[in-house]
A = this chain, B = another copy of it.
Amino acid sequence: MTDFDLLGIGNALVDVVAQADDAFLAANNLDKGGMMLIDPAQADALYAKLGPATESSGGSCGNTMAGFASLGGRGAYIGKVRDDQFGTVFRHDLEAIGVTFKTPAAQEGPSTGRCLVVVTPDAQRTMSTYLGAATELTADDIDANLVQAATVTYLEGYLFDPPEAKAAFVRAAEIAHAAGRKVAITLSDSFCVDRHRASFAHLVDSHIDILFANEDEILSLYEVNNFDDALQAVRGQCEVACLTRSEKGSVIVSGDEVHVVDAEPAKQVIDTTGAGDQFAAGFLFGYTHGRGLAESGRIGGIAAAEIIAHYGARPEVELKTLLPSG
């Protein structure tokens, strides 16, 4: 038995969440519902225009690890923060739920990364991310013992933006496979796939066992126009592909198997951001705990349904209380 079920590698970010109207988005050239990368000067300028905000730990993979721990999984995380207050917050919020996070904080260089999240009255979230210290993650931060000790190593696709982090992920994948472990990735964002399509396609083909993508992302990866073509394209590229389709549920593809999993009914739909992160948490919990593919997909749906029923990208209830017995 491994020490950890899941090791996540991601951009360590603190979310700074404020409300604003559509006119604010337009005035600041923000694409509603999207994620764009910004530099420190842009981050400061945008923050100065934002209304009162609240801060909380975020990062796509950080949110997945929070969900995974909430389901009862044994998780670890690798990511880079600075030795500042936001870095302390990010580390605390992972350790407080039992996720092992030992990557040393940078003692110089950019501050801990932050994601400025603008919530419009229609509950959409528009994100502007200053990666900060997250860009300082290098292959040297990949703790080989940790990778070897984890059943699955899971990468956030957003890590493909900082180039050193991309190298770090390849290192992690090689260590994992040499130790007989599995490697998973989420494509994270269709614009991110656009920026790095060739790298992603090569990585999926050569290093990935379990792929997570939503419809936009998988269409972008294979440059096709419809879901069925994307499904045919991904088949055989990796051991398992989990394609999420919002209210249409998910499709799990593995060799000749295709499982169509209905979406779990949500109590209410307040904020759909983060559904993908929690789907991955749920699926990987099932996968690492001997549940079948369809059952794992259903657990992914249960975790996603919890997160979309409230604001905020980390679970508000212990997800393990929502698990089907298995």
Binding site for B on A (CB under 8 A): 18, 47-48, 50-57, 66, 84-86, 89, 92-93, 96-97, 111-112, 314
Contact = CB atoms under 8 A, between A and B. Distances in A.
Contacts of A314: 52
A229 to B, nearest CB: 41
A122 to B, nearest CB: 17
B52 A97 contact: yes
Nearest to A87: B85
A97 B49 CA distance: 10
Most chain B CB within 10 A, of A52, A53, A55, A92, is at A52
Nearest to A84: B85
A89 B55 contact: yes
B85 A52 contact: no
Contact of A51 (B18, B51, B89, B97): B97
Contact of A93 (B53, B57, B96): B53
A50 B96 contact: yes
Given A50-B96, A51-B97, A52-B314, A85 B57 contact: no
Contacts of A66: 52
